[in-house]
Structure 1
Amino acid sequence: MPYLDDPLIIFTDLDGSLLDHHDYSWKPAQPWLDKLAAANVPLILTTSKTSAEVAALQTALHLTHQPFIAENGAIIHLPPGWQTQEQQPVHVMGARYSDIRQALVDLRQRYDFEFRGFGDVTPKQVAVWTGLSEAQAELAMQREASEPLVWFGNDLDFAHLKKCLSREGLALTRGGRFWHVMGTDAGKGQAVQWLSQLYRQQRGVPVASIGLGDGPNDLSMLETVDYAVVIKGYHEHQMPVNDGNGSQVFRTTEFGPHGWSQGLNHFITLP
């Protein structure tokens, strides 16, 4: 198990993980947030939220000096301290939002698929779907490389939609509340791997990675990191993380930020 003063990098999901599923509070996790900050451990927000949403949260969490991963891994933002001549401030993995929307509109017209995405509705409807305020919903609609969907059709049509998207170079990822459409080469696991490699190159030493998440869209992240915390979630989805020798995965008995703290207590030894 790593010590807090070892070379560490931590990737965390937000909704249902660091943030409470119901009120979006991170207060129960604050003691660990303070410990990580004092030890200069990078805490990388890794979420389905948009860049606009994450930027506001980063400020509130005092993490603006760290990178973040948005839209389920489709977008990586690098702060000045992480940028190089080769790396721009924003790294897009996969398809652009305008191309995703065009493909979805074309497929719906062609096959009469029954779904609605954020690009089809108003901020008021997104607020109803998510429990966010309308102002927060507007931030959630500022998308760059993925589209959340609500599916209303049957299973057969859904399987057909998946095949059609695959032919367009797109894939579906299951989130806590929505299906997310993005490029096939985008995902939390791919983004975590890319950012971990960049950090190791900067440090010049081996770095242990910890990932924390509660939903199916976190699985690729949890299977990429060295130590995975599967936070108990308010859903019925299976979370089959490949745990290697069995000691690298911890499943919490608590939800949200309480489970988040429980996971770090399990894996990180205080010096």
Structure 2
Amino acid sequence: MPYLDDPLIIFTDLDGSLLDHHDYSWEPAQPWLDRLATAQIPLILTTSKTSAEVAALQSALQLTHLPFIAENGAMIHFPASWRPESPVPGARYADIRHTLEELRHRYDFEFRGFGDVTPKQVAIWTGLSEPDAALAMQREASEPLIWFGNDLDFSHFKKCLTREGLALTRGGRFWHVMGVDAGKGPAVQWLAAEYQRQRGKPVITLGLGDGPNDISMLEAVDHAVVIKGHHDHAMPLSRHHASQVFRTSEFGPHGWVQGLDHFITLPAREIQK
């Protein structure tokens, strides 16, 4: 198990993981956030949220000096001190919306995306305030949607998206449409490699997430924390050994804390506190 003074990088999902599923609070995780900050361990927010949403959270969490991964890996945002070219080719939001509208018109698919509704409706779907819902609608490379049709049409819908170079990933509340090569896993792998290149030595990666859209991230890291989710979706991973995968018994930030307690060994001075 890694120690707090090892060359760790932590990638964390937000909703239902670091943030409570219902009230979006991270208060139970604050002691660990403080420890990570003191130890200068990068905490990379890795989320389905937009860059506009994450920027506000980064500021509140005092993480603005770090990169973050947004829109399920379709976007990587770098701080001002970084100058790499974004490795995620992705698909532009306008192109995704155009494709979705064409498919819906052609096949009468029954779904609604963020681009179809008002901030008030997004607020109802998500539990966000309307101003925060407006931030969630400032999308650059992915579209969340709710499917209302039947399973047969859904299977056809997925095949149509594949032909258009797009893919679906399942989040806690929504399906997310994005470029076929995008995803949390590829973004995590690229960013971990960039940290290793900058530091000139190997890094140890740990990931925490609760939803199916986190699986590629959890497969890409050295140590994976599967946080108990408010859903009934399977969370299968290719690894099962306790040294690599830990499944929490708590939800949200309480589970987040359980995961770090399980994997990260604290110095004796911390344990004695």
TM over 0.5: yes
8 Å Cα contact 1:227-1:249 kept in structure 2:
yes
- 2:219 maps to 223
| 2:56 is the alignment partner of 1:42 | no
How far off its partner does 1:245 sit? 4.5
8 Å Cα contact 2:166-2:178 kept in structure 1:
yes
8 Å Cα contact 1:227-1:248 kept in structure 2:
yes
8 Å Cα contact 1:92-1:145 kept in structure 2:
no
Q: Secondary structure at the match of 1:20?
A: coil
| 2:249 is the alignment partner of 1:268 | no
In 2, Cα distance between the equivalents of 1:82 and 1:268? 28
8 Å Cα contact 2:87-2:190 kept in structure 1:
no
- 1:108 maps to 104
How far off its partner does 1:148 sit? 0.3
8 Å Cα contact 1:146-1:181 kept in structure 2:
yes
Aligned-pair RMSD on alpha carbons? 1.0
- 1:6 maps to 6
In 2, Cα distance between the equivalents of 1:82 and 1:34? 24
| 2:118 is the alignment partner of 1:122 | yes
8 Å Cα contact 2:43-2:66 kept in structure 1:
yes
Q: What amino acid is the match of 2:71?
A: E
- 1:143 maps to 139
Residue by residue over 1:211-235, the C-alpha shift from the partner in whole angstroms, topping out at 9 and shown as x without a partner, is 0000000000000000000000110
Alignment of 1:43-62 (within 5 A): 43-62=43-62
Alignment of 1:23-102 (within 5 A): 23-83=23-83, 87-88=84-85, 92-102=88-98
**Normalized against structure 1, the TM-score is what?**
0.97
Match of 2:153 among 149, 152, 157: 157
Residue by residue over 1:194-250, the C-alpha shift from the partner in whole angstroms, topping out at 9 and shown as x without a partner, is 100000000111100000000000000000000000000110001001116452000
Q: Secondary structure at the match of 1:229?
A: strand
How far off its partner does 1:170 sit? 0.2
8 Å Cα contact 1:212-1:222 kept in structure 2:
yes
In 1, Cα distance between the equivalents of 2:80 and 2:60? 19
How far off its partner does 1:116 sit? 0.5
Q: What amino acid is the match of 2:33?
A: L
In 1, Cα distance between the equivalents of 2:185 and 2:32? 24
Moved over 2 A (4+): 80-83, 90-93, 244-247
**Percent identity of equivalent pairs:** 78
In 1, Cα distance between the equivalents of 2:111 and 2:190? 32
How far off its partner does 1:91 sit? 5.3
Residue by residue over 1:111-149, the C-alpha shift from the partner in whole angstroms, topping out at 9 and shown as x without a partner, is 000001000000111011001111000000000000001
**Normalized against structure 2, the TM-score is what?**
0.96
Alignment of 1:238-257 (within 5 A): 238-243=234-239, 245-257=241-253
8 Å Cα contact 1:20-1:257 kept in structure 2:
yes
Q: Secondary structure at the match of 1:82?
A: coil
Q: Secondary structure at the match of 1:172?
A: strand
In 2, Cα distance between the equivalents of 1:80 and 1:120? 34
In 1, Cα distance between the equivalents of 2:136 and 2:73? 15
User: Aligned pairs, how many?
Assistant: 267
- 1:207 maps to 203
- 2:193 maps to 197
Q: Name stretches of at least 5 consecutive residues in structure 2 with no aligned partner.
A: 268-273
